[in-house]
Chain A
Amino acid sequence: MEQDAQLVQRCLQGEGSAWEELVRRHTRRVYNVCYRFVGNRTEAEDISQDVFLRVYRTLASYRSAHGGFATWVTSVTRNLLIDHYRRTKRDRLTDSLDDAMPVVESKESAARRPDEQALLGELSGQVQTALTRLSPELREAVILRDLQQLEYAEIQQVLAVPEGTVKSRINRGRIELAKILQQMGVRPS
């Protein structure tokens, strides 16, 4: 977190390499949040790019005293995702060709056995499908808590809602997700 603050300072002094380092450190998180929310790789890439454009333009407004840089970036991501959701007015994941396409393999999954990897890939697709059936409020809360594994306080900052609301959304989101997966015939672990 301290390193992020230093990189931000160097960026503000016009150091391009510091910005490149920040981008490399946070692209994965942003891209994953976007992908899990929209369920489409191309859209996730476009929104990720927009996120960093906005972060770059508003970098001077970032105050480390108000929270970590990662949380701030996640807030920007969340705002753009909501904008995107309102703009498109429909969840396109279920009809997306992306569903049928394998997701990009991560380094962790590459280290697993092929059968485990295949199971995880299948599970990832099922969870992704179920996530897109959740309302945006519940979806973003579950993604931040269970996929990005943020703390409640961080989620509270990102969503800018009271702690009770965060807890309630996460709980309802999990229950909804469990019911959707059950309807899809997915047996939980």
Chain B
Amino acid sequence: MSWTCDQTEARISDYLDGAMTSAQEAAFAAHVASCANCKQLLGSVRGVIKDMRSIDQLEVPPRLVYAILDATLGPRLTPWQVFTKWIGSLATPKFAYGAGSVMATCLIILGASGASLKKAKLADFTPSAIYLNVERQANVSYAKSRKYFMDLRVVYEIQSRLRQDENQLQVNPDNVPKSEEKQPGHGDDQTHTQPKQQNRANELARQLEMLAAEVPVTWERSIR
């Protein structure tokens, strides 16, 4: 059975989309082969489909996406607003405590490494410079602490000896030399085993006692 022009026109898309049975295709093709109008129409429709499918999709204007997002999610924040919001979220006691601790730790480390913030240079913060500073600072600290320890030791020794001498004096007061009884040209009665320094110390102690006894008198005179 041959098709009419109307039948053929109504099935052009089915033919081009391959949605026909083989019998329908044969009848369609037979009519198109014998009808110039339908043949031309088929060619035109085929060309239209090809043209339409060759047209590219248009690019979306960039502002459109932002406009849609603004209209749905609300206006976007500016970078400054984002920054201030972020800063605001950090203003908590916990964060302030943590930041303070970190800063104090950094200052301690910087101080220990010998870096000066007033005269800070970029070269001071290289690993080798930090290492050298730390080493020098450690040596200085060691030397200072060693000197302090040695000073303490000397003071302690002096105090110990003085205390020892006082104890000896209290135990045996006869050992105290009596300089006022000593005659010129005569040597003292002390044995040679007593150190001369002890004698000088005892002499000084006596003079100090005498001076102390004189001070109130002097003070009273000055009052008058």
Residues of A whose CB lies within 8 Å of any CB of B are: 16, 19-20, 23-24, 27-29, 31-32, 35, 41, 45, 48-49, 52-53, 56, 103-109, 120, 123-124, 127, 142, 146-147, 149, 167-168, 170-171, 174-175, 177-179, 181-182, 187-189
Is B45 a contact of A107 with CB atoms below 8 Å? no
Q: What total of A-B pairs shows CB separation below 8 Å?
A: 118
Is A127 a contact of B52 with CB atoms below 8 Å? yes
Asked if B67 CB lies within 8 Å of chain A CBs, one says yes
Asked if B54 CB lies within 8 Å of chain A CBs, one says yes
Is A189 a contact of B73 with CB atoms below 8 Å? no
Q: A175-B9, A175-B41, A181-B44 are in contact. Are A32 and B57 (CB under 8 A)?
A: yes
Across the A-B interface, the 8 shortest Cβ-Cβ residue pairs: A188-B47, A178-B44, A171-B13, A146-B52, A106-B56, A56-B72, A52-B68, A108-B56
Give B4 Cβ to nearest chain A Cβ, in Å: 15
Within 8 Å CB of B68, what residues of A? 23, 27, 48-49, 52-53
Q: Which of B1-56 contact A (CB under 8 A)?
A: 9-14, 41, 43-56
CA A154 to CA B207, docked complex, whole Å: 122
Give B70 Cβ to nearest chain A Cβ, in Å: 9
CA A110 to CA B53, docked complex, whole Å: 17
27 A-B pairs with C-beta separation under 8 A = A23-B68, A27-B60, A29-B57, A35-B58, A41-B61, A49-B64, A49-B68, A53-B68, A56-B72, A105-B59, A107-B59, A120-B54, A123-B55, A147-B53, A147-B55, A149-B53, A171-B13, A175-B9, A175-B45, A178-B41, A178-B44, A179-B44, A181-B44, A187-B47, A188-B46, A188-B47, A189-B51
CA A62 to CA B65, docked complex, whole Å: 21
Within 8 Å CB of B73, what residues of A? 16, 19-20
Q: Which of B54, B65, B69 contacts A123 (CB 8 A)?
A: B54
Q: Mark B63-82, 1 if CB is under 8 A from A, else 0.
A: 11101110111000000000
Chain A interface helix/strand/loop/mixed: helix
Chain B interface helix/strand/loop/mixed: helix
Chain B interface category by residue count: 35 or more
Q: Which of A49, A106, A170, A175 contacts B59 (CB 8 A)?
A: A106
